[in-house]
Amino acid sequence: MKIAFTAPMKPLDDPIPSGDRTMGRLIVKALEAGEHEVRIATRFRSWRKDGGEDLQRAVKQDALAEAERIAKEWDAENYRPDIFLTYHLYHKAPDWIGPALADRFSIPYAIMEASRAPKRKTGHWAFGFAAADEALARADQVAALHRADSECLADVVPKDRLRVLLPFLDTRAFETDSSPAQTDSIAGDKPLKLLTVAMMREGDKTHSYEVLAAALGKVQDLPWHLTIVGDGPARDHILPLFPADRITMRGALPPDDLPAHYAAHDLFVWPAIREAFGFVFLEAQASGLGVVAGDTFGVPDIVIDGETGLISPEGDAEAFAQNLRKVLEDTSLAARLGEAARAHIKANHRLQAGTRRLNAFLEAAQDQYWHRMPSDKRYAATDLT
């Protein structure tokens, strides 16, 4: 299948690392593993930090001009994709390009990872919200990455065009022969080695670090050592929150260095305030680490509470500390969580599983498109293929 792809939230070659960029790249990788031909239709980024109708109208005009440029390019090359796929759409990052090209070339249109915040229907983001809703209504298939988003999308996307497509990752770099269950820390000979991987940005990331520091402060009577992988503008605020003699700061590291750090630790800890699902939870579990996490959006969809990790209410430092204490007082629990976590990822969240889910998603989009198309246009479209 020939797939035209775009990511209005953040282009896949954006220099700033994030779970969003990682997931977008993995979607393309899984599609190519399924022998699809993926073409990045555009790097156009509709995302804006600030709202307002005038700004959003200007973005729309630029987007439609980009759609016209792409259409001329496709015509000149005699290129016609089988489907247009947009990754990550919401009120701050509407998609005007995908629907315009899908209509012009009479092809299905699908959206991967959509979210919807009804409170943005009015106010500063109303124009972007309405534009995102128009794209969702036009889509032949929409996939959310967790159930919480799916529930909000159900108000605008019919049930037969909406599904949850759980995230996945390429586990090869994380599946090593070593197991955290064999470390000295889990055997009780040394402090349990905790790990967190997160950028130090203002807002929700900083809030998560604050909750983590508060929780760890409540278990200082027990042995533990925390490694932090991450950096950013909030570093000077965040680092003093932790006792200097109990942390190791590694700074921001390239993705290729992360598997070794996961493998060298016993437990992954992160409150995940307001995160869609936390890609690091997939990486940690694939590496054989159990997790202590916050109950945020899609986290319960990928971390099995009581089996692969311990989940506490979002932002609740006391409950987070209680879960930490359970593992710190019984270090064998870290081993049990880690073993279950590795098996869970292997069974449900590997790249191969992602390819199967994406294939089914694209086929459903095509079926829905043909089902919705009037018969006279259906025959005309068939003549073009």
The gap from C-alpha 22 to its chain's centroid, in whole angstroms, comes to 8
Q: Give the tens place of pLDDT for each residue, 109-146.
A: 999 999 899 999 999 999 999 999 999 999 999 999 88
Query: Taking the CA atoms of the chain, what radius of gyration do you get in angstroms?
Result: 22
The gap from C-alpha 18 to its chain's centroid, in whole angstroms, comes to 9
Strands 109-114 and 290-295: unpaired
Q: Give the tens place of pLDDT for each residue, 22-70.
A: 889 999 999 999 999 999 999 999 999 999 999 999 999 999 999 999 9
pLDDT at 19: 79
pLDDT at 277: 78
pLDDT at 318: 98
* pLDDT of residue 380 exceeding 50: no
> What is the rounded CA–CA span in Å between residue 135 and residue 139?
6
**Which residue matches tokens 């390009």?**
97
> What is the rounded CA–CA span in Å between residue 245 and residue 300?
33
Q: What's the length of the chain?
A: 385
- Place 375 in a pLDDT band, splitting at 50, 70 and 90: low
> What is the rounded CA–CA span in Å between residue 329 and residue 270?
19
Q: Give the tens place of pLDDT for each residue, 294-317.
A: 998 889 999 999 999 999 999 999
- Where are the alpha helices (H) located in 175-305, listed in sequence order? 204-217, 235-238, 258-263, 279-286, 299-302
Q: Are 309 and 292 in contact (CB under 8 A)?
A: yes
If we measure between CA atoms, which residue out of 227, 262, 222 comes closest to residue 248?
227
> What is the rounded CA–CA span in Å between residue 27 and residue 111?
12
Per-residue pLDDT, averaged over 226-235, amounts to 96
* Cross-strand pairs, 290: 267
- Place 148 in a pLDDT band, splitting at 50, 70 and 90: confident
3-state class of 110 per DSSP? Answer: strand
> What is the rounded CA–CA span in Å between residue 90 and residue 273?
19
**Which residue matches tokens 């529930």?**
151
> What is the rounded CA–CA span in Å between residue 58 and residue 140?
27
pLDDT at 297: 87
Average pLDDT, the chain: 92
Per-residue pLDDT, averaged over 250-269, amounts to 94
Share of the chain above pLDDT 90, in %: 82
pLDDT at 382: 43
> What is the rounded CA–CA span in Å between residue 271 and residue 211?
7
> What is the rounded CA–CA span in Å between residue 111 and residue 225?
42
- Read off the tokens for 168: 């996945």
> What is the rounded CA–CA span in Å between residue 53 and residue 123?
10
- Place 379 in a pLDDT band, splitting at 50, 70 and 90: very low
* pLDDT of residue 147 exceeding 90: no
Q: From start to end of the chain, where are the E strands?
A: 2-6, 37-40, 83-89, 109-114, 141-144, 162-164, 192-197, 224-229, 247-251, 267-270, 290-295, 309-313
If we measure between CA atoms, which residue out of 173, 228, 227, 187 comes closest to residue 205?
228
pLDDT at 383: 44
> What is the rounded CA–CA span in Å between residue 115 and residue 143?
9
Q: Are 87 and 112 in contact (CB under 8 A)?
A: yes
Q: Are 273 and 317 in contact (CB under 8 A)?
A: no
Per-residue pLDDT, averaged over 206-233, amounts to 97
What are phi and psi for residue 195, nearest 5 degrees? Answer: -135, 140
Q: Are 140 and 332 in contact (CB under 8 A)?
A: no
* Cross-strand pairs, 127: none
**Which residue matches tokens 């018969």?**
375
